């Protein structure tokens, strides 16, 4: 079934759908009026929430729906030329977009996301903002970070509401606050590098400012106040001032105070639940099965707080079931936070997302968990082509609505996001240069210093022939892309292709350099210096230009300087390689020390700043 245009009648359509349909009309072939060259749609409100049905006959369509999000999802189904009858147990299906790891999405682009999310059937969204929002009389809060203004947040909230999507504030009120605590004005509220000082009056003055702002800008009366991964809570200035105290006590006391602030502003808080489980075992492991949370601690968890069980790692449904029940044993009905993998990735990781999201959803369905959202983190600089994750969100939504068919997901994705689903899935393999079972990650091939080669050397300890295999796999991946130059309405598939081509070129360069240097082949070394090194610098400049294009069409400019720093540094390093080789060839130096360094048998991994740029931590 081919749909040219969808028409709806204002008189015959429930009022609750008018703003949603009008918002969709900004981008999609949806119009008010009588059918001329398309299909006339009639909307019928169902008494059953969480269900919808789409049926077509003789140039007309009927949509039965149980709520606004079900109606918008049904429109997405119709745009894809499909009919359906479906339901979901999830009262809330959402996303959490990380806006704290350098990339802060523009209001304009996020509105586009909201339209796409509505058509997929999502009805909730969070913007994870540690410091990337403006606070009155706090000039260093979000300074040079692309922080959202109150006006921008209100605009986002109003637009989301028009689409039937609830915007929920998602902030931090204890840990993960390195970005602001590094500034001198916040020294008084600093416990450790990223954790606020509990029991300090100034701490709660700042937190109240945060909560008051979000109470003003978003209509939802729910707020996510974070508090995860505060491993060193009470171990810094807190201990200096007050002495040692059990982490459970500090955490519960702080949470109780913040919960009371939320109540003052008529907000219901939720937190990430991991610290309760971490503090119950000696290794601070969220998922340790021997975790014991003392009864006195359980009794002191504020009853007004909801717990979010986050888990992006497990591939076993039974594990999720167990942890859902453990949350219920605490006396709380958990919200589930799964993950569609964007963090420390150059492109959305389809395989890992599917392997973890699917069993998570199955467990939620079995346990009748009502609220589920998918996190989209940006660890290590948010260098992922973020629009690529829309393919993953489309697939995740299909699973949440009971459909595990890639053909349907592909048709929906093409209609909603104007993208080739197969291309997006294919490029996800860029994360696995040596195959999905290998521990060699793709993004570090890009950030690895071309002369020092710490990541290269680490990979040798895993598989001495890893680069040959990676080059072969990337070439096969590129060859399987379908018209990549034309697939750029959302994520630019040409950018993904260019990433793979650049990684191939980079690996071939180092192979050639190591081979020529080992043989002391002056002719080959001269070619590397005069031809290959300048060519690599040129290729990286082209890639940097592509990165800039992708970044600037989605995000505020702040944070892109980090991508420029990394790639321009590498360009300079290839120029340095040429200089060093020439010095070796003319006898100025007896050898190239970085290439003479023995390779330790210690496989590494992690973020750019920790492992790949230098052997030094001062960068």
Instruction: Examine the pLDDT at 612 and tell me if it is beyond 90.
Output: no
* Helix/strand/coil percent split, the chain, to 5: 50, 10, 40
Q: Is 270 helix (H, G, I), strand (E, B) or coil?
A: strand
CATH superfamily of 428-612: N-acetyl-b-d-glucoasminidase (1.20.120.670)
Q: 464-508: per-residue pLDDT in tens?
A: 999 999 999 999 999 999 999 998 989 999 999 999 999 999 999
Q: Taking the mean position of all CA atoms in its chain, how far away is CA 30?
A: 30
pLDDT for position 122: 98
How would you write 513-565 as a 3-class SS string?
Answer: HHHHHHHCCHHHHHHHHHHHHHHHHHHHHHHHHHHHHHHHHHECCCCHHHHHH
pLDDT for position 272: 97
Going by pLDDT thresholds of 50, 70 and 90, the confidence category of residue 35 is confident
What are the extents of the domains in the chain? 6-87, 92-425, 428-612
pLDDT for position 598: 87
Of 500, 505, 513, nearest in space to 452 by CA: 513
CATH superfamily of 6-87: N-acetyl-beta-d-glucosaminidase (3.30.160.230)
Q: How far apart are CA 291 and CA 212, in angstroms?
A: 36
The b-or-e profile of 60-71 (16+ CB within 10 A means b, else e) is ebebbbbbbbbb
The CATH number for 92-425, chosen from 2.60.200.20, 3.30.2010.30, 3.20.20.80, 3.30.70.890, is 3.20.20.80
Instruction: Look at the alpha carbons of 184, 187, 189, 190 in this order and tell me if their dihedral is positive or negative.
Output: positive
Q: Are strands 84-87 and 51-57 parallel, antiparallel or unpaired?
A: antiparallel
pLDDT for position 297: 87
Q: 311-368: per-residue pLDDT in tens?
A: 999 999 999 999 999 999 999 999 999 999 999 999 999 999 999 999 999 999 999 9
Mean pLDDT of 189-210: 98
Mean pLDDT of 532-552: 98
Both tokens of 368, joined, read 């009748």
Starting at the edge strand found earlier in the chain, the sheet holding 60-65 runs 30-32, 6-8, 39-45, 60-65, 51-57, 84-87
Q: 556-611: per-residue pLDDT in tens?
A: 999 999 999 999 999 999 999 999 999 999 999 999 999 999 887 665 555 656 55
């Amino acid at each position: 079934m081919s749909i040219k245009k969808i028409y709806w009648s204002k008189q015959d359509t429930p009022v609750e759908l008018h703003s949603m349909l009008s918002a969709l009309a900004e981008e999609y072939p949806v119009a008010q009026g009588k059918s001329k060259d398309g299909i006339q749609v009639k909307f019928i409100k169902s008494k059953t929430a969480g269900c919808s049905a789409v049926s077509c006959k003789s140039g007309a369509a009927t949509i039965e729906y149980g709520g606004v999000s079900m109606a918008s999802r049904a429109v997405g189904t119709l745009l894809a030329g499909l009919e359906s009858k479906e339901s979901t147990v999830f009262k809330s299906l959402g996303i959490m977009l990380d806006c704290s790891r350098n990339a802060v999405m523009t209001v304009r682009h996020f509105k586009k996301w909201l339209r796409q999310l509505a058509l997929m059937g999502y009805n909730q969204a969070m913007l994870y903002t540690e410091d990337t929002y403006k606070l009155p009389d706090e000039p260093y809060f979000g300074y040079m970070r692309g922080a959202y203004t109150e006006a921008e947040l209100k605009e986002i909230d109003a637009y989301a509401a028009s689409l039937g999507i609830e915007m929920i504030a998602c902030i931090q009120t204890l840990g993960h606050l390195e970005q602001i605590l590094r500034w001198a004005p916040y020294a008084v509220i600093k416990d450790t590098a990223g954790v606020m000082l509990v029991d300090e009056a100034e701490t709660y003055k700042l937190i109240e400012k945060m909560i008051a702002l979000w109470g003003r800008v978003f209509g939802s009366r729910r707020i996510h106040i974070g508090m995860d991964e505060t491993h060193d809570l009470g171990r810094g200035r807190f201990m200096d001032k007050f002495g040692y105290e059990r982490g459970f006590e500090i955490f519960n006391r702080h949470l109780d105070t913040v919960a009371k602030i939320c109540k003052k502003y008529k907000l219901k808080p939720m937190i990430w639940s991991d610290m309760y489980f971490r503090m119950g075992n000696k290794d601070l492991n969220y998922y340790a099965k021997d975790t014991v949370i003392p009864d006195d601690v359980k009794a002191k968890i504020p009853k007004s707080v909801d717990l979010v069980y986050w888990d992006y790692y497990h591939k076993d449904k039974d594990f999720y079931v167990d942890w859902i029940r453990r949350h219920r044993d605490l006396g709380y009905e958990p919200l589930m936070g799964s993950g569609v993998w964007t963090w420390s990735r150059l492109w959305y990781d389809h395989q890992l997302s599917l392997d973890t999201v699917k069993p998570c959803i199955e467990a939620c369905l079995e346990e009748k968990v009502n609220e589920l959202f998918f996190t989209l983190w940006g660890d290590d600089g948010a260098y992922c082509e973020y629009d690529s994750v829309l393919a993953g969100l489309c697939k995740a939504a299909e699973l949440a609505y009971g459909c595990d068919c890639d053909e349907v997901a592909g048709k929906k994705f093409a209609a909603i996001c104007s993208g080739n689903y197969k291309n997006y899935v294919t490029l996800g393999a860029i994360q696995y240069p040596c195959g999905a079972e290998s521990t060699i990650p793709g993004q570090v091939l890009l950030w690895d210093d071309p002369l020092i080669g710490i990541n290269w050397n680490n990979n040798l300890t895993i598989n001495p022939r890893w680069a040959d295999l990676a080059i072969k796999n990337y070439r096969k991946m590129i060859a399987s892309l379908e018209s990549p130059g034309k697939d750029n309405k959302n994520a630019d598939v040409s950018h993904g292709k260019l990433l793979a081509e650049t990684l191939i070129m980079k690996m071939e360069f180092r192979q050639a350099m190591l081979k020529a240097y080992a043989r002391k082949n002056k002719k080959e070394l001269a070619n590397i210096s005069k031809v290959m090194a300048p060519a690599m610098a040129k290729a990286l400049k082209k890639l940097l230009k592509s990165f800039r294009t992708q970044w600037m069409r989605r995000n505020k400019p702040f944070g892109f300087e980090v991508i420029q720093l990394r790639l321009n540094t590498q360009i300079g390093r290839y120029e340095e390689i040429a200089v060093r080789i020439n010095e070796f060839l003319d006898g100025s130096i007896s050898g190239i020390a970085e290439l003479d360094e023995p390779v330790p048998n210690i496989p590494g991994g992690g973020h750019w700043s920790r492992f790949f740029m230098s052997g030094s931590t001062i960068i």
